[in-house]
Amino acid sequence: MLAVLTVFAGAGTLGAQETEFSHVGTKNCKKCHIKEWKSWAETSMAKTFETLKPGVAAEAKESVGLDPNTDYTTDPECVKCHVTGYGKAGGFVDIETTPELAGVSCEACHGPGGTYTEDQYMSLKNKEYVKAEVVAVGMVDTVGEAQCVSCHNSESPFVGDDFVFDFESQREEGSHEQYPLKYPH
Ligand code: HEC
Ligand code: HEC
Ligand code: HEC
Ligand code: HEC
């Protein structure tokens, strides 16, 4: 699997040093969260990289003036919202290098897992981890509107400039099934 790496990305953020946690891919999460994985795999977001291929979703593309025969799988202007962690540490590069990060997967909503899946955080050795500690190393506390609107916004060719994402109505439809946690955190 991709190595865990910590990058210091200071440039452009007023010189402040900001830790960028690395992505690890869905196989890692699947080991311990098979129910969520199975449910997620059925969602349109899990499969959405496919829609960038030539000939796929042809009618939808034509309806917004996109050429249905163009291969958009390498176009950064499309890829950024149809994969996980594009341009970020350990994130999607291209379909040959990082096939596991094609589509909107676990870490697009829950945060890059390179550090929070280490043994001392969320693991089978530490099932009763302290949530704040896991959140401090990259896990999103509670997945909410902020995660969704990084992609569900008017930059999508399929919505107008006046688009407003309705989180309440979309949350249940877009997320995997929810299963109660077993341990206190
Ligand atoms: C080695 C096992 C393991 C791996 C790998 C793992 N997790 Fe977990 N995760 C756990 C355990 C154990 C819990 C606590 C489960 C419980 O309380 O029932 C948990 C809980 C969670 C929770 C609930 C957080 C909370 O406390 O509210 C989320 C979200 C989560 N994992 C996401 C992920 C994602 C995303 C990945 C992959 C990047 C991942 N996990 C990888 C073991 C793992
Ligand atoms: C800002 C993020 C974003 C960008 C950029 C983006 N998309 Fe999407 N795309 C989405 C979202 C979100 C949806 C699903 C709902 C919607 O907004 O219509 C979607 C839906 C789609 C669909 C399915 C439409 C349907 O009705 O079946 C296709 C095909 C698609 N996008 C192709 C592309 C192509 C090709 C590009 C580049 C020219 C692109 N997208 C750029 C976010 C984006
Ligand atoms: C589109 C966003 C989205 C994606 C993608 C996603 N999740 Fe979630 N997940 C949520 C939301 C929303 C919740 C409930 C709120 C929370 O716990 O943050 C949740 C909750 C969880 C929980 C807590 C227990 C439960 O079932 O509610 C686990 C574990 C989890 N997700 C694992 C995963 C794994 C593993 C993947 C990838 C196979 C994944 N998630 C992909 C949105 C997402
Ligand atoms: C990394 C980008 C990204 C993130 C983050 C994301 N989505 Fe999506 N979402 C998409 C894309 C792209 C599609 C289009 C899937 C397709 O039809 O191919 C989509 C489709 C959907 C759909 C299916 C309905 C439709 O219009 O096609 C729902 C519902 C949805 N998302 C809800 C959510 C929710 C809720 C969140 C946050 C918890 C979220 N999404 C986070 C990119 C994203």
Q: What is the pLDDT along the chain (185 residues), one digit of tens a residue?
A: 444 554 444 343 444 456 899 999 999 999 999 999 999 999 999 999 999 999 999 999 999 999 999 999 999 999 999 999 999 999 999 999 999 999 999 999 999 999 999 999 999 999 999 999 999 999 999 999 999 999 999 999 999 999 999 999 999 999 999 999 999 99
**Closest residue by Cα to residue 101 from 27, 19, 21, 10:** 27
Please name the amino acid found at residue 37: W
CA separation for the pair 128, 111 (Å, rounded): 19
pLDDT attached to residue 17 = 55
Identify the nearest ligand to the CA of 57 by its number: 2
pLDDT attached to residue 144 = 97
Q: Are 19 and 128 in contact (CB under 8 A)?
A: no
Q: Find the 176 Cα to ligand 4 centroid distance in Å.
A: 12
| Integer Rg of the chain from CA | 17
C-beta of 105 in contact with ligand 1 (< 6 A): no
pLDDT attached to residue 87 = 96
**Dihedral sign (CA 153, 155, 156, 162):** positive
Which atom of ligand 1 approaches the CA of 181 most closely? 18
Q: Find the 77 Cα to ligand 2 centroid distance in Å.
A: 10
C-beta of 96 in contact with ligand 4 (< 6 A): no
Structure tokens at 28: 């890692």
Q: Find the 82 Cα to ligand 4 centroid distance in Å.
A: 9
CA separation for the pair 4, 6 (Å, rounded): 7
C-beta of 171 in contact with ligand 4 (< 6 A): yes
State which of 78, 165, 166, 171 you would mutate to test the pocket of ligand 2, scoring each by most atoms of that ligand within 8 A of its C-beta. Answer: 78
pLDDT attached to residue 18 = 67
Q: How far is CA 35 from CA 42, 52, 67, 94, 176, in A?
A: 11, 28, 38, 27, 9
Place of tokens 């309705």: 166
Identify the nearest ligand to the CA of 68 by its number: 2
